[in-house]
Every structure is written in structure tokens, then in C-alpha cells.
Structure 1
Amino acid sequence: MRILVLGGSVFLGRAVVEEALRQGHDVTTFNRGRSGEDLPGVTAVRGDREVPEDLAALAAGGEWDAVVDLCGFTPKVVAASARALSGRAATYAYVSSISAVSTWPAERVDESAPLWECSPDAGPEDGDYGVLKAGCERAVERYFDGEALNLQPGLILGPWENVGRLPSWLRRVSRGGRVLAPGDPDRPMQLIDARDIAAFTVDLAAKGTGGRFLLTGPAGNTTFGRWLADMIEVTGADTELVWVEDRFLLDRDVEPWTELPLWVPSAPDSEGTWNVSVAKAEAAGLRCRPVAETVRDTWDWYKDRDHDALARRLPSWGRHGIAPDKEAEILAAWDAR
């Protein structure tokens, strides 16, 4: 199969390219060459999808069985790609987000849940991340003449993560000592490895499958306590987890998701965060590896790298993890309560 990957050098995109090459497919990548290096074995085409001449040259230069779009964030930009590549491929797989679903995370959702209202021709000023992702899905469905495959991942982890959630926890756990652990250690989570999304995406694209799929791990495939314990095991650190109640942390202005990544305080408007139906994707072939394997492989990738250099190259990393002084102050206040 001939696959065109828009993006393809960073995290999930890298995983998609690796999987496609592993399966023996002919892979072309189209990107600016700024975010990362293309993997050996691909045909790399340089260009900017927001430049009409670059997009036209790409479309004129080949035909593919499937397009996988990993770097579309604005509907009008995705619409331009869908129009340009219509007739040049049979399937357009767009990687959206569960954030495109308007009732998530307040409710348990499946593929029947509504998307945010957003025009397929909207610009970046017309909504936030989730709203615009919904518009991007509509752009593929409207402007691509072929199978439209919209994939809505949940929380993605794994080697080469460019967001910094799991790496920030691994960095903190590996330092050892008393570690601030948020909320309830038995709180169930629902995590998925980028490599499992990649395998599912390539398989469905090869089959010419269309439709919409929510993609995350099975509900309760780990807990916050087990997830942190996996990190202690792989790092071999002398670490003590100190579990601090949600309310205590919120009262001290600790930011969920960022200062303590993946911490979601219990609240009526977050009951569906870790309770997403993946029955449709599982029926179509989604298989997820154990979360402990994701933790181990991410540590193996991360542990010998220049962490400061990664942080400089990936600005989002600086937004994840609690400052040592603040962590120490909260632990002292918790001890003295």
C-alpha cells in the first residue's frame, strides 16, 4: 500500500510511519522538516500545507491508497488538504481528538455523542482546540471524495512523547524521596500507547475503512497508584508516594493536568474523563498493550537523553510538572494538617 503521511516525524506521527514501514508499505511524508527528522525508508517531500503552491505540487506528484493527516488543527487548512488530495487517494484518515466531542469529559461517550459546532471552513480564531478539531473532521467529510476516517484519540502516551506528561512524572519519580501523589491511588484511568493507535490507523487505512472511532485504552486499564508504582519499578528509585486529597491540592492552587499531569479531581463535570467506550474500535481490531509496558518503554527511551535539550526543543514540556519548592511546601502542610 502507498501511504501519504502529513507530518510523520513527531510522536504519534513517527509511530504511524514506523508501523507502516514495519508492515512493508510505501510511505511518503509531507512536512516542513522543522519538528523532527524523517525516518529512514520514507520518501520525504518538503513543503508547508498552508502554502497553496506546496500543496498543489504534492498532489500533482503522486497517487496514494491512503492519506494519514496528523498535523491538522484548523478546519480551513484541513479543508484545503482534503480538496487537493481528493482523487489522489482512496481514504483520508484524519487524527482528531476526543476533545472534539462536546459532551466529554462530563459524560461517558461513544461514537454517537455529538461534536462541537464548528464550520468545516473555520479559521484559527473561530474556536478552541476541541471545537476546531470537530470542524476539521467535517472538512474531511465534506471535501474529500473517498472514505473519510476520523480518529478521536484520548490520552496518548509512549516513547517519543512530545507533550511531556509521562516524562515529567518519570523525571520526578527517578529523583526519589517523598513524591506528591494526587487524590485517590485507586482512581481508575484509561490510557493508550501511540504505537497501538498507529497499528489501528494503518490497518484501517489499508482496508479502506471509513467512519468515526474513539481511541483509548480499555476503561480501568490502570489506576493512578499502579501507574506511579510502575514508574518506581522501572526507574529503581528510592521513592515514597505521599497521597494528598484533591481538595487540599485545589485549595493550594495546584493545576490539574499540568502541575500534576493526568490528575483530574473528582467533579460532576469530569465523570467521563476515564470512562470512554471503545467497543466500536475493539470490534474493528484495536488492541492495547499493558500500561506497564508503555511506562517501561518510555523510560528506556527517555532515561539516557539530554533532558534539558528536550525541554528547550519542546516548549510544552516546561508546562508539565510541579516546582520542587511548591511540592515541598504542600507536603509540609499536609504533614502538619
Structure 2
Amino acid sequence: MRNVLILGGSYFIGRRITEQCLKEGWAVTLLNRGSRPWTGDPITQLICDRDDAAAMKQALKGKAFEAVIDVSGLNRKQIEIVCGSLDCPVPHWVFISSSAVYDVDRCALPIAETEPLGENPYWGQYGTDKIAAEAALISSCTKRGTALTILRPPYMYGEYNYVQRESFIFHHLTQNQPILIPASDNRIQFCYTGDLASVITTLLALPAQGIEIYNVGDKQGVSFSEWIQHCANVCGIQANIIPVHDAKWKAKDYFPFRDYDNVLDVSKIHQIVMEDTLFETGLAKAYQWYCENQHEILFKPKLTANEKQILSELGVK
């Protein structure tokens, strides 16, 4: 039985990873703030703020793990704290990074792992903080002789997603509301949470050494309008898509994605894990979860107000 520490683990991506580790029969310890108590198969839960160095040292004192899966790490400080809090060596570390680390203005599409990192104008500090977190982990793991796997997904989707993404579209479809999209109709890429979880447990089951970096996600991207059509298909509802041409409105003012082509080269990881969940299969599971939990998803009032203003300017009632 593999003994695994998951930083995060009870929310969206982390919850699905936790479920997959339990399915594999592994012993799981979650470390998080406890804002969403774990409900499910037995685990050990450590309630701690990972930004509190003293509390982290106390929470992890004397504990040993065969692997660490860091879902919640956002910046260099958080990485340095957790690395300094573990007394025992960890054979394998997995870090969930992001496609936001790529300097898209200097990258060829689809973006390979070897493309340059740098400030992504669409993600700002989130991306640069993830770059710093990666660098801190690479430094620490190299010094300790720990195998490190860095995963860079694009947009995640699936059950437990409280973020306004697919739920935003499901809401509009079921309420018979028009859906505004940027006129660019750019291409984006997705990774189903169940696929990411399977990638992680597969990689942890293999012999590992040194540093490995993988883009993870579906083999192909989809345009904004194609993605909405997939959502409409699983709902069984026709979508009313309206492109927005007025440059005064930024995509994030009315749409749940940033307006640029975000498509990764995922050929490296697909040499190890061949299959993806079919897009509409994953979306159907996400839609079922949405129908059962939509009361917990909070929609941003400003975004709703912007939609009404744009529709009014377009003469749409």
C-alpha cells in the first residue's frame, strides 16, 4: 500500500485525485485548511494553513510519505514551507502546475513542454507565481534526490467544479439564455479531472528519477463555439450563441475563458497514458453533477450585469 500525502485534496481537482488514489488502495493523508471536510472513504486529514510555516512543521512532524501530490501550491513561499516541513525524504513528488506558465507570445502552437516560460499576459501573476513554484521544487528535489513530476494542464473540467466554466454554459442553456462569446472564436483545450487523476496514479506506479515535465489534456483543442455545442449536446438543448465584436469588452467581462489560443502539445504524456475520456462523456458527468449541485455555484453579479448591457447594446431582448 502506497502512503501518499495530498496537499489540497477535498476540492475539485484534488478530490478527484484523492478518489483515484483510494481506488488504487493507497493510504491517503490530506493536508488542507478544512474548508470542505472530506466525506467518503477513510483518509487521514491534517487541518493546516500551508502559508503558516510553524503550523506546517508541527502538522508534518515525524510523518513519512512515499509520494507527495501538490494540488494547491501556488507560489515559491508555499513550496519552500512544505519542503522545509517534511522531516523524511520523499521518493516522488508530483506538482500540478498550469499552462499559464508559458510565454504565449513567444510560443508556437501547439505549445510543447520545451517552449519558453515567462509572463503570460492573459494570466499575469498567477502564471509567474507558478513558474517560481516550479523552480523552487526543481531546486529542492534536485538537492534531495527526489524524483519530480510537473504536470501542466490547460482548463480542467468535471465533477466538483465550483468555478463558473461548464456550469456557466449549463446554466445559460437550461435557462434558455443566449451565450455571448468573443468574435475571435479562439481554440482552447481541456483536461477531464478523472484523466488527470489516472495520469498521476499511473506515473506514481512507474519507476521514476530526476525531473519530468508533461503537458496533460485532451489530444485536440476546440473553439469556443465547438465547446458550447458539446455542452448543448449533453443537455439536449439548442444553444443560442452570439459573437461579441466590440473591442471595449474583454472576454472575461462576459465569458468564462480568456481570449487566446490555449492549446498544448500533449504527445509526450500520451506515449504513457494513451486514452482520454471522450469529451461528451466527461461533460455528461459534469452536467449530472451540476444538476445535483447548482445551488452551490455562485455566479458573479458583475458578469451578469455586463451580459445584460452587451445584449442591450446589440438590441437582443
Shift of 1:232: 2.4
Aligned-partner SS, 1:304: helix
CA deviations 1:252-295 (Å, max 9, x no partner) are x333145122362xxxxx4xx23311111111225321221222
In the alignment, which residue of structure 2 is the partner of 1:328?
311
1:224–1:41 Cα change, 3 Å: same
Percent identity reads 20
Aligned-partner SS, 1:45: strand
Q: Aligned-pair RMSD on alpha carbons?
A: 2.7
Q: Is it true that 1:114 corresponds to 2:116 in the alignment? A: yes
Q: Is it true that 1:135 corresponds to 2:132 in the alignment? A: yes
1:276 to 264, 268, 271: 264
The 1-side partners of 2:204 and 2:284 are apart by 29
Q: How does 1:92-111 map to 2 (within 5 A)?
A: 92-103=93-104, 107-108=108-109, 109-111=111-113
Q: How does 1:306-317 map to 2 (within 5 A)?
A: 306-307=294-295, 309-311=296-298
Shift of 1:197: 1.0
Shift of 1:8: 0.4
The 1-side partners of 2:207 and 2:86 are apart by 15
In the alignment, which residue of structure 2 is the partner of 1:194?
193
Counterpart of 2:235 in structure 1: which amino acid? Answer: T
The 2-side partners of 1:20 and 1:321 are apart by 38
1:236–1:149 Cα change, 3 Å: same
CA deviations 1:145-191 (Å, max 9, x no partner) are 21111111111111111321111111011111544454367x54421
The 1-side partners of 2:87 and 2:218 are apart by 32
1:87–1:207 Cα change, 3 Å: farther
Counterpart of 1:328 in structure 2: which amino acid? Answer: L
1:177–1:211 Cα change, 3 Å: closer
Q: Is it true that 1:255 corresponds to 2:257 in the alignment? A: no
Q: How does 1:212-291 map to 2 (within 5 A)?
A: 212-220=213-221, 222-237=222-237, 239-244=238-243, 246=244, 248-250=245-247, 253-257=248-252, 259-262=254-257, 264=259, 270=260, 273-285=261-273, 287-291=275-279
Aligned-partner SS, 1:279: coil
Is the 2:4–2:27 Cα contact (8 Å) retained in structure 1? Answer: yes
1:152–1:263 Cα change, 3 Å: closer
Is the 1:15–1:194 Cα contact (8 Å) retained in structure 2? Answer: yes
1:203–1:167 Cα change, 3 Å: same
Shift of 1:14: 0.6
The 1-side partners of 2:253 and 2:28 are apart by 35
Shift of 1:105: 8.0
Counterpart of 1:207 in structure 2: which amino acid? Answer: L
TM-score (norm 1): 0.81
Is the 2:64–2:87 Cα contact (8 Å) retained in structure 1? Answer: no
Is the 1:178–1:241 Cα contact (8 Å) retained in structure 2? Answer: yes
1:8–1:83 Cα change, 3 Å: same
CA deviations 1:101-128 (Å, max 9, x no partner) are 22468532211122238xxxxxxxxx81
Shift of 1:301: 0.3
1:258–1:107 Cα change, 3 Å: farther
Is the 1:174–1:232 Cα contact (8 Å) retained in structure 2? Answer: no
Is the 1:261–1:320 Cα contact (8 Å) retained in structure 2? Answer: no
The 2-side partners of 1:113 and 1:39 are apart by 40
Is the 2:169–2:179 Cα contact (8 Å) retained in structure 1? Answer: no
Shift of 1:320: 5.6
1:258–1:166 Cα change, 3 Å: farther
The 1-side partners of 2:303 and 2:204 are apart by 34
User: How many residues were matched structurally?
Assistant: 306
Q: How does 1:42-53 map to 2 (within 5 A)?
A: 42-53=43-54
